[in-house]
Structures are given as structure tokens and as C-alpha cells.
Amino acid sequence: MGIERINLNGSLALSRLVFGVWRLADWKMSKDDTQALIEKNIELGVTSFDHADIYGDYTCEELFGRALTQSSALRDKMEIITKCGIKLISKNRPDHKIKYYDTSRGHIISSAEHSLKNLGTDRIDLLLIHRPDPMTDPDEVAEAFRQLKADGKVLHFGVSNFSPIQYDTLNAYLDDPLITNQVEISALCLDQFKNGTIEHAQLHDICPMAWSPLGGGAVFTGEDEKAIRVRKVLEQWSEEKGKSMDQLLIAWLLMHPSKIIPILGTGKIDRVQKAMGALEIDLTRQEWFELWQASEGQEVP
Amino acid sequence: MGIERINLNGSLALSRLVFGVWRLADWKMSKDDTQALIEKNIELGVTSFDHADIYGDYTCEELFGRALTQSSALRDKMEIITKCGIKLISKNRPDHKIKYYDTSRGHIISSAEHSLKNLGTDRIDLLLIHRPDPMTDPDEVAEAFRQLKADGKVLHFGVSNFSPIQYDTLNAYLDDPLITNQVEISALCLDQFKNGTIEHAQLHDICPMAWSPLGGGAVFTGEDEKAIRVRKVLEQWSEEKGKSMDQLLIAWLLMHPSKIIPILGTGKIDRVQKAMGALEIDLTRQEWFELWQASEGQEVP
Amino acid sequence: MGIERINLNGSLALSRLVFGVWRLADWKMSKDDTQALIEKNIELGVTSFDHADIYGDYTCEELFGRALTQSSALRDKMEIITKCGIKLISKNRPDHKIKYYDTSRGHIISSAEHSLKNLGTDRIDLLLIHRPDPMTDPDEVAEAFRQLKADGKVLHFGVSNFSPIQYDTLNAYLDDPLITNQVEISALCLDQFKNGTIEHAQLHDICPMAWSPLGGGAVFTGEDEKAIRVRKVLEQWSEEKGKSMDQLLIAWLLMHPSKIIPILGTGKIDRVQKAMGALEIDLTRQEWFELWQASEGQEVP
């Protein structure tokens, strides 16, 4: 069984849906269960796994890596994405007194090397700068990327939560162009459609990745007016089309011509499988705007 | 009699003032009166007519076209601008349940063909995408433009209400560059001077077209503070210079070095003729900023 | 004694700290005292002086120039920066009825020539357009710059308070690229880090100049919450590091990789000397963000 793959730049393809590992520590899974979860995702065609050094208070990469090292064949069947650049206040990082960013050459390299060790692998397929850092020295980032690539430790680079000008500036300093910008996109968060980020991705011919593609769950339980309006549309569609609200929210993203890649946040394999049902939903353009209008609370201008 | 013409791109020139047809249906004119209105505009040198498929609830193009087809010589004396991409709720479009946008290849082509039929002509001089569409596939727009041009149905392309990044993105996908961005500009709406749109037009060496160049009439009757402040300046100038407030507002736009092309919204030929008086008004730079300051309610920083 | 110099474009270098002359008229100094102040700055290595035609209600350039012409050797030891484009209401400019901008070819040239005469020099090292002018004709600015350069009257050009798109547009019309953008930057004014201006400078490989690098003094006396939060951090650092709050604020700017050039606003040479102490302060990245967080009132996202 396979699902469509998205070719990011000629040499890296991701699965159409990506598995987000950020809550792995919360799921309290055994090593075997974690391995089984990974394997089942791969069987379903969800071969790309989205990490960050800081997920689970700096623990998720290692939990994942332990499962991975149990089966050496597993690594070659997947794409590993991870991130660096945020420093969290954490008992695991006692020298951090505040939350801050670090995109110095030294930190990028040591963070990536730390991720390699935690993940029990010799390469990261895609490393992202996690947040735009107001203290960025683009020359240092470029040097770090160059060295990590030369050493075979990281194969491709991207960013997360970058504005167009932030993206263009870093990109101009790099040997190889950035290949994605991972941002929050959902029917509940239309910001990227309105601040130029989606158009910018189309201008550079890159595919955006979407975090919180279900809007952080607000659509299911939120009592604010936006959540209520969006839920109402989804409930009606759900009844008419026999599809779940998750599936409809994912389908709404998949329909966009910029080839948005949603990152699933569930640890339950049956919810992953269900989400894949989104791949078979065809929404009309009018329906796409019906959800847009519900989110906006008014019709388009 | 003639007025200055603005060369948009070497092969299309518009009259310095453009006649806006959006309220033609409201004017309840006979076919003969419509024809006479068109002919008088052309005699005055106002040879460019601004349409959209949706004006008059999808009826204005046809009302204009009927007058046009009465006199086959008329078409060659004018430039026809029209737009596509908005789908209105309308008894004339019963399948539209909400207002939404459609910039799919199929819709752009069928909308332009519909416009040709309604206008009773074999070519549109300038076709604009009416609003930036968050669901834009720039490849599809490019294909639609390519085909319409290859078929001789549309000679030039532009956009309306686009931000700089929206403009740049679409432009990057096209064979021939966009030649205008039609946006709201007036002494009452300074947005485009402040959000980068005017500079962007200068960067690309295109002339912006201005809809609502009189600020939608608020300056004559509005009771908000901005309208009152602007009116006060115009009334004083009107007395000093012996010019009408319309003329002064148009002159204020014409003075801008980006060569803003105002779209007149009146159906009365004597008001068109009067607006042409704006072409002979010379405002000083200090006066230009006097109106700016009145609109802003404070001096420049 | 010398301090680091910042090379702006291969042929113009400024001192790492720039002396701002905007309040010279307020200091009520004699010609001799002014000359002494200039000479002492140069001895300290602060060789770049930042003017504008309008400073001191159009008087500062002349006050500076009188001191300069007393010692012909002095001119060759310094870089003179001045600005044009704002027209102030002033008893010295009775034809200005309102404050407005003028970036016409004629005004730029005559303003620069006026500055040369007032400053008692034959050349301006760096001329800036003081504010983005919504009535800019970039062709006229380019012509004015071309002529001033051809005549040897101005050697380099830049802008002040420009947004990225304003910068790009003017830049595209010029023979020689702009070499700086002088904007407000301080721990109390983070705008330029958030609106793309700093990244844009890095993209174009130019060094921004910072006006009000101490935040206009609010940090010392301000009772708003932001000032109180920032002051609290600075007071603590001041105690720990034995450095003054001025020095720490300047050091915070100097640390930024975009090579921000702060403009000092004091007329007291001992405060200039003290500010130079900032050059020897090393803040950690975490400390940089500690001040950022205090200014923002919340941790980074």
C-alpha cells in the first residue's frame, strides 16, 4: 500500500502525510510499541517523521531512536526531519535561564550531532531552523549547513515559521536553496494565506509543511465563534459525505495547489489510517471557500 | 480633442482617464443613449472602458455590448478592460451558494469567452484577475492566459487588488508580464501609498489604475472626521482655484509620478467632461501633502 | 587611539560609533568649544558625524561648519553624513505652510548644495533621503544623485526610515546601490527586527545605522511597563558587570551580526568616551535575549 509522495527538490521526497513525533513522550509507549507504531506508519505509506530537538522536553528524538535501533532495516524506509535553534528552559538544560534562540554555527552543528546520536542514525534527511532568530548571522548558518552537508550528517535544509523576507535573506546566503517552510496552516489558521507565506512558497516552488493541520483541536471542542462556525460546516459535510471532521480538515489542506504537507499529531495508528481517508475526498472550490468563509466569519471581499 | 494617453507596455495605451462601466445597469439607459454616451466619451478622448464580468449582477457587459454592436466602427476606437475570478451569489448564477473566487484555468477561459460574447467583440484589450484568490494555482492562470492570448481573445493581462507578493508570484509564472494592478486609491484611501503597492508598481514600471478615485463620494457627504477634514481643504481650494472638488481629487491622483490612471464612475457625460478639467490643474507638492495631511489627520512623521 | 571601523561599501568606512549632531544648537556652544568637541571625538576614533539639513531648525549644519572652517585640516579626518527631503515649518523657511517631503530633483540638489555651504566643505561623504516620500519619483532621485556624484559634491547615498520595498524600489533606479538605511533601533524599539528591515539589510549586505540607540532616554526615566522591565535588567547587569546602562544598551546593539552602527546623541565628550566602553562588553546570546524578553514583556514564541 502506498500514498502519493511529494518531491521537494529532486532528491528528497516526503510522504503526502507526515507523522509528527512531538508528543511521543506523552504517549508513554514501550520501545516495542514505538517500533510497531513506526512500522505501521511505514506500511501505510507514511514514511516521513517530523521531529525537533526540543520535543518532549528534549526526549522524543531519543525515544524514537531507541525503537529505531532495534531494527536496522527501518531507517532506510523513512525520511527523518528534525529542527534546531530553540533553547528551552528545562531540567535537561540547566544552563538555560530563559527560553531563547541560538542559530550560531556552533549550536546548529552540535544540535544536529546531538539529534543524530539520539535518533540512532547517521543522517538527518531534512534539518529545519525552528524559528526565525532576530540574532541570526546568515553567514554562520550557511557555514553550519555547509559543514553538516559535507560531513553527510544532514542531506537537506529548510526553515519553520519564517516570513518571506526572513526566508529570502537566509536563502541568499546558502549554497543549496532551502526546500521547505514549515508553518501553521489549517482552516482555523488562515494567516499564511493572508501574510504572503503561501504565495512566497509558490514563487520559490517549494511545498509548505503544515503544523497543527486540525487547528490544534479547537474545532472539535472550542467555544469561540470561529470554532463554532467551522465546526458547523464540518458537521454538515460529515453527515453529507460520510467523512470525519479530521478527514475533511486534512482534505481541505491537501486540495490547495501549493501542495501543503500536513503533519499528523496522533499516536494512534487507526487515526493515521483514518486521516489517509482524506486523500480520497474531493472538495469543490465552492466548498473550499465555504470553510474559508466560516473561518473568517464573513464572505470574501 | 484629445487627452494624454498612458502607454502601459509598448503595445497597449489607455486614455489618461478611464470610463468605469460598473453602474451602467443602474443608469437604466436605452441602447441608443448608451451608444451616445460611449461615442461622447470617445470624442472627449476617454477611449478606455473598465468592465468586469460581475458588474450589474452580470449584466453590464451585455448592456454595453448591445450598444457597441449597433455601430461596428466603434469598437476600434476604444480599449476594453474586463475582469474575472469572482463568483457572486446571483439569480443569474443559481449554482453559486456563496460568494467565492475561481481562478482555475477553465473558469478564466470561459469567463473571458462569456465577456467577449456579452460585449459583442472578438477581443479584450486587457483582462484582470479581479481579486487575489487564496486558492490560486499560478500554473493554471498562466495556462489560461497563454491560451486566451494564442487565440487572440485577450491581448494583455493584469490584476486587481493584489499585494506586492501576490503580484510577484503570479508574474513569475507568466510568459508576458502583468501590465497593471487596479487598486483603490484616493485622497481618502491612502492604503496603497503605505502598504508598498505604489512603490511596487514603480519597481516594476507599471502604472496602477485607481478605482474609487473620489473616495466613493464620502468626501462630499461623509460625516466622519476624515471626510470632513479633506472636504474642508477641497472647499477652500475650490474657492481659490475655481475648480470643483471632483476635479481637485482627480488632479491630486494625476499629479503622482507613478502615473495613476483614475477610473471615473459617472454616467453623465458632463461630469466626465468636467473631470477632464483636472488635466489642467497644477497642484504644488505642498498642496499635495496638504490633502495627505488632511486625510491622515496629522502631519507627516 | 582608535576604534573599529565599519566598511560600508568598499570605499566608505564609518567609525563603529557615530556622533549625532542633531542637538548641537541646543548645546549653545561657542565656535571654539564646538571645534574642541569635534577634535576630541576624532581623537577618540569617533570620526563620523551625522547631520540633517533640518537639525536645529535648519541651523546645526552651519554651527558645525563654522567650527570646521576654523581648522582646514579637520575636514579630512572625518566623514560627514547629512540628509535631505523633509521640509519643516520654520521661521527660517517662511514658505513652508505645513511639514512635508520633497524628493524632487531640484530640491535634493539644492538641499545638498545648501548643506555644503553650511558645513563649509566641498563634499558630503554620505547623503540620505530622510524619510520615504509618498510622492517620490525615483527617476528624479536617481538624476539628482547622478548629478551630485558627477559634480563631486556627494560621494555616497543612502536612505533613512525606509521599508524593504521602499528601499528596493529606489535602489533599482540608481546607478550605484544605496549603502545604508538609518532607522530607529534599540532595546526599547524592536520594530526593525520584526518588520523585516534588519533581514533586508542583511540580504543587501548593508549595515543599518541606528538612531535613538538608547531608546530616547525612556529607559532611564520612563514609567511605562516596558521601560521599567528593561531598566530592571540593565540595573542588575550594571551591578554585576560594573558597566553603565548606556554602555549596556550600546553593547546590545553592537553585538548584532548585521553590524548596526549606533548614533550617539550626547554633546558631552565624557559620555562619548563612556559609550566607547560598550566596545569592550561581551554579552552572551542568552543575555541578548534577556533584554529582548524584557522589552517584549514575554518570552520568544
pLDDT for the residue numbered A2: 63
Which chains have 3+ CB pairs within 8 A of A?
Answer: B, C
Average pLDDT of the residues in A134-143: 98
DSSP H or E segment with residue B71: none
Q: Which amino acid is at C176?
A: D
124-163 in chain C: CB under 8 A from chain B = 131, 134-140, 161, 163
What is the Cα–Cα distance from A258 to B129, expressed in whole angstroms? 19
pLDDT for the residue numbered C83: 98
Contacts of B212 (CB under 8 A, 6+ apart): B184, B185, B186, B189, B265
Q: Say how many residues make up chain B.
A: 301
Please check whether residue C206 is in contact with residue C8, taking contact to mean a CB–CB distance below 8 angstroms.
yes
Q: Is the pLDDT of residue A1 over 70?
A: no
Please check whether residue B75 is in contact with residue B44, taking contact to mean a CB–CB distance below 8 angstroms.
no
Residues of B in contact with A251 (CB under 8 A): none
Q: Mind listing the pLDDT tens digit for each residue in B194-211?
A: 999 999 999 999 999 999
Q: Is the pLDDT of residue A287 over 50?
A: yes
Contact call for B286 and C96, based on CB within 8 A = yes
Q: Is the pLDDT of residue B124 over 70?
A: yes
Q: What is the homologous superfamily of the domain C5-179 according to CATH?
A: NADP-dependent oxidoreductase domain (3.20.20.100)
Please check whether residue C13 is in contact with residue C47, taking contact to mean a CB–CB distance below 8 angstroms.
no
Which residue, chain included where needed, has cell 542559530? A103
- The CA dihedral of B274, B278, B282, B284, to the nearest 10 degrees, is 120
Contacts of C59 (CB under 8 A, 6+ apart): C25, C92
What whole-number percentage of chain C has pLDDT above 70? 99
Binned at pLDDT 50, 70 and 90, residue B70 comes out as: confident
Whole-number CA gyration radius for chain A: 19
Q: Mind listing the pLDDT tens digit for each residue in B171-186?
A: 999 999 999 999 999 9
What is the Cα–Cα distance from A118 to A69, expressed in whole angstroms? 10
Residues of B in contact with A164 (CB under 8 A): 165
B296 in contact with chain C, both atoms CB, cutoff 8 A:
no
Q: Is the ipTM of this complex over 0.90?
A: yes
What whole-number percentage of chain A has pLDDT above 70? 99
What is the Cα–Cα distance from A76 to A68, expressed in whole angstroms? 10
Contact call for C134 and B285, based on CB within 8 A = no
Contact call for B96 and A286, based on CB within 8 A = yes
- Cβ pairs bridging B and C (under 8 Å): 61
Best probe of the C interface among B204, B229, B285, B291, by most C CBs < 10 A, is: B285
Report residues of chain C scoring pLDDT below 50. 1
Q: Where does residue C236 rank: exposed (0-12), middle (13-18), buried (19+ CB within 10 A)?
A: exposed
Q: Mind listing the pLDDT tens digit for each residue in B1-16?
A: 468 899 998 889 999 9
The domain limits of chain A are 5-179
Q: Is the pLDDT of residue A154 over 70?
A: yes
Q: Is the pLDDT of residue A34 over 50?
A: yes
pTM equals 0.97
Q: Is the pLDDT of residue B155 over 70?
A: yes
pLDDT for the residue numbered A87: 98
What is the Cα–Cα distance from C290 to C286, expressed in whole angstroms? 6
C94 in contact with chain B, both atoms CB, cutoff 8 A:
no
Contact call for B300 and C101, based on CB within 8 A = yes
C173 is catalytic: no
Q: What is the DSSP string of chain A?
A: ----EEESSSS-EEESSEEE-TTGGGGT--HHHHHHHHHHHHHHT--EEE--TTHHHHTHHHHHHHHHHT-TTTGGG-EEEEEE-EE--BTTBTT-SS-EE---HHHHHHHHHHHHHHHT-S-EEEEEE-S--TT--HHHHHHHHHHHHHTTSEEEEEEES--HHHHHHHHHH-SS----EEEE-BTTB-HHHHSSHHHHHHHHT-PPEEESTTGGGHHHH--SHHHHHHHHHHHHHHHHHT--HHHHHHHHHHTSTT--EEEE----HHHHHHHHGGGG----HHHHHHHHHHHHTS---
Contact call for A199 and B169, based on CB within 8 A = yes
Residues of A in contact with C290 (CB under 8 A): 97-98, 100
162-201 in chain C: CB under 8 A from chain A = 164, 190, 193-194, 196, 198-200
User: What does the mean pLDDT of chain A come to?
Assistant: 96
Best probe of the A interface among C167, C202, C260, by most A CBs < 10 A, is: C202
Q: Is the pLDDT of residue B53 over 70?
A: yes
Looking at the partner chain, which of B98, B131, B138 has a beta carbon nearest the beta carbon of A286? Answer: B98
Residues of A in contact with B139 (CB under 8 A): 257
